[in-house]
Structure formats: structure tokens, C-alpha cells
Structure 1
Amino acid sequence: MKFALHFGNITFPKPEDAKKLATLAESAGFESIIAVEHTVIPSNYSTKYPYNETGRLPGDIDTDWPDPLAWLTYIGAITQSIRLITGVLILPQRNPLILAKHLATIDCLTNGRLELGVGVGWLREEFDALGIPFKKRGERMDEYIQSMRKLWTENHASYSGNFVNFNQMNCSPKPKNSRIPIIIGGHSKIAVKRAAQLGDGFFPATGMQADLEPLLDMIKQEALKMGRDPKDIEIMTGCPEVLPGSGHDALHAVEYKKNLGVNRLALPVSAFLPDLETRLLTFGESVIKKFQR
């Protein structure tokens, strides 16, 4: 089992705090750090946030949302081994050619440690502000994934779709290992099918733990329909039962998720506050080390 710290960039947006988080996480044995994304957040929005009961984003108007790629690049420069994950980047809002170059550059600079968690997005008002159609954003994302992989793996790459078209294009540098793992975020049936078809990983929404077992059964079946081995799709999800102060047996909770087929647990940084250093290092000794043997 691998352990990740989630919401790193919005919990510690300032450079000195981000550095402390990254170095402590690496020392404690966390395998990865996850950064989240919203380019702009309307002061008033009617779209319901789908991952909690309030229907509103966590934080308030003063919460900083640093760009996840810039933030991950910064902590990548001051760490050696911890993996750098977007969880999630709203892919339909990005230009896929520019993003392909940006991601490959970061991956090379950080010695192949980047993973791209992507989602279709839910905040209609954000899409409107960016001038990007909210409709068909799922189809747009599929083409962006396919076209970026073309650019990463081929010289003289070509792609023809409804949203992306290019002919005989070269995009260098290539990722260090010729590809960047792509993790599909979401908890809908469409997200499951997308992960089975296009994903190197699947990230069911962390607020939807009651639906986890049905989702995992579904992705196994969909992967088999696609002719894929379900084990080739890495599963990442939250695990509130393992957090400090949850009142649950952390080791039992991790073992339960492991037996379901989960490969990586994403834990919110805020759960380790206020005494970040002590709580991270204690968790590393009491939980992470038990699953590294």
C-alpha cells in the first residue's frame, strides 16, 4: 500500500510551508503528494459541489489555490523521491499541446516523478469565465488524453478529432519514461468506463466511500470488457478511518482497503494539523512502515 498527502497546495500555499510539508512527508515515508486545481472560483455560484453535503467548496473566498503544476514543480526541486500528483487537474480547461509540453518538462526536471490525475470538472461558472464550453467536456477530455499521449510517444505525431487536430507535430522533451501515468478521477459510471478505457489509474471521489466497493467491482468488469487486466489500473482513494483521531483501528482500515484492491490511500494534509511534524512522523512509524515490509 502506498500513502499520499492530499490538498497539499491549498493547505500550504506559501513556499516555506510547502518545503516543510514536502520534506517531512518524504521523511515519514509518504510515497506521493497531491495538488488540486481551480483556476478561478466565482464569488457566487449555483452549481453544487458534488463531494460534500453542503454543496460548497471547502475554504472561503480568501483561500489560496496555487497552480498545481507550479506548486508540484517547486516541491519536486527540493525532494528526491516523493511522487508528484495532480488530484485532480481539470483537463478540459487546458490546451492539450501546451499542457503536453509543460507536463513532459516537469517530468524530466523531477526525474520521472509526475503523475497526472484528471477530471472533467463540475463548476459550470468557472468554465464560462474561461470561455470553454461546459457541454461535452468529457469527450473533450478523452481527446486531450489521447492526443497528449501521441505527442509524448511519437515524433511527427498526428491526431484528428472533434476538439483536437494536428498533423506531423513534434513535442520535445518527451517524458522521462515515454509516458506520464494518467489517473482518471470521478465516481460516476462514465468516469469508471473512462478509467477502464484510458486510465493508468482510477481515483474515486474521496467523499463517496460508501460507493467504493460497487465502483471497484464495476471497473474490474469494464476493464475486462476492454481486454485489459484490471490489475493494470491502479486504484487511489481516501480513507478517513485511518486518520489521526478517527477512533478507528488504522491498520485494520488500511488492510481492508488493500483487500478491496486499493493501491494508494490519499489522506488530507489538514488531518495532521496542528502538530504536523509529530503527526506525520508518528503515522509513518505506526502505519506506513507496517505496509512497506
Structure 2
Amino acid sequence: MIEVKNATLQYTTFKRSQGLKGVMHDFFKRSVIQVEALSDISLTINEGEMIGLIGRNGAGKTTLIKLLTGILPLRQGEIKIDQMLPYQREKVFLKNIGVLLGQRSQLIWDLPAIDTYDMLAAIYELPKQMYNARLTWLSEQLEVTELLYIPVRKLSLGQRVKCELIAALLHRPKYLFLDEPTLGLDFVTQKTIYKILRLENQYHKTTIITTSHYIKDIEQLADKVIILNKGKIIFNDKLEQLPKELTTEILFDIDFLNSKSVEKKLTCAPDKLNEILAKIPAERILRVSQRGMELEELILQFIKGDSI
């Protein structure tokens, strides 16, 4: 279980002055300002949950991930994972977590991925039989078996991300932290990654925490969503629990065949539905479906509402 109580994190940065005169002023005397990255946040994540952590740039998402994984120390408040303090980096704690951060690579650039995996197996003290079986299963599921012996620098972005994911999952972590896991990847690679992560959660009850600006990641990898805004939690619940007043925008999709029997689609507001249907021969109408606001727009409205 992950428990966060009243966590606050501040850091010091420098204020930039405008114009040439400001640049000269900053050269001799820089103004220091305190920025609050996280402000008194509390949350509980139970074992086996799949959490989506979302918010605008600077909302505190990556900072929270770094605190949970022990990369950053917490000086105010408390964070415990299975009663351990992440920043102490205990051996048991490190064996229980897997991390995939978009800007940090576990793979050795000039060596094949298999060399990194052999090293990680030794670090995590994995029995050889378990290591071989785990590596075989992961590489087959991610369709990279033939790539394990190619230097990492020769792999495409999608291939590298798959190999990075194997490194994060190799020791079967209890907690998996993902920061922008599908950034820049093609649709097919994204689907493959979604599949393997859902299997990990299903088979091993792996707790998965994902931060992403890509709403599809959240829809596919989260049963519960935490929305951060300006370092504060403004929503922590299942997606369907977002305020109902945000979902009042209803649209209708009309799928039909045109005069050349080619399938087409029209989208309209409720007050225009009957007017449009009257213009299309009934035998050419394939389906009429109702939908609400897209998830991305819904979350954006929620954040805007909190900022007012």
C-alpha cells in the first residue's frame, strides 16, 4: 500500500528579469523565489490498483513520481510504501519497484539489451531459471525476441521503449511507475504496451501508476484517476465520478450510406437530429449513437473550473 500524508515540496529557483537591462541586473544580482511543487497532498493507493496521474505541465506529476520512487527526498509530510520510506532506498524497497521514466534509460547505449538484462538479473538476485522464463515471456509478448542481441543505439524509438519496459518488469515488481510510457510511439506499439501492462496487473496484481499527457494512456491503463493542479490534488476517484455537470454536452453520430453506397458519418447536436434524419432515406441509415464529451475535454474543463 502507498500512503502519502500532507506531502509538501518546495524548491528554489531564480526569477528572470525582462529586457537587456534585466539581463545585466541578473548577471550581478539574481532574485531568488520559492516554488511549491506539491502542496499538502494526501492519498492512498491500494495494492493492485491502476492509477492515472494527470495534470498540466508543472502540476507536480513527475515530482510526485520522483518522491514515490525515492529519487527525491521528502522534507515535509510523509510517504510510505509498504511501511518503508522511499528516500531511504532500502534493498527490499528497490526490489519491489519498477520505473520507466521517459528521459532516463536503464539500457546501456552501445550494448545489446540482453547485457543490461543479465546485469539486472544479478542485481535483483533472480534465479537463473526464473530470469530466463521471465525474459522469454516478456520478449515474446512485446515481440522483441530478435532484437535483444542488437546494440540499443541501432533500435528504433518504439523498439527501445519495449526493451526499456522489459528492464522495468524483469524482476516482477510489486509497484510499477511509468512517466509518459507511450510518448512518440506508433499506434501498434501503444496497443502492445497496453496489453502487457494489463496482463501484469491481471496476473501479478501489480500496482501501476502512470503519468501521461496522452489521454489514451489513461483510458487504457487507469481504473482510477488523480488530477493534479498547481501542486494540489483536485480529483481522486474513478473516472465515472467526475462531476456530472461537466458531461452535459451531448452529441449524436449518424452513420449512413450516401447515394454511391459509401459509408459516411455526420455529427450533430440534439436539436438538429430530427432535421438531419428527415433528409436521409431511412433504408440508408446504418446507426445513430449518442455520446458525451471526450475524456480529454472533460478533464480540461475540470482543471479550468478548479483554476477559476
TM range (shorter): 0.3 to 0.5
TM (normalized to structure 1)?
A: 0.35
More strand by share: 2
TM (normalized to structure 2)?
A: 0.34
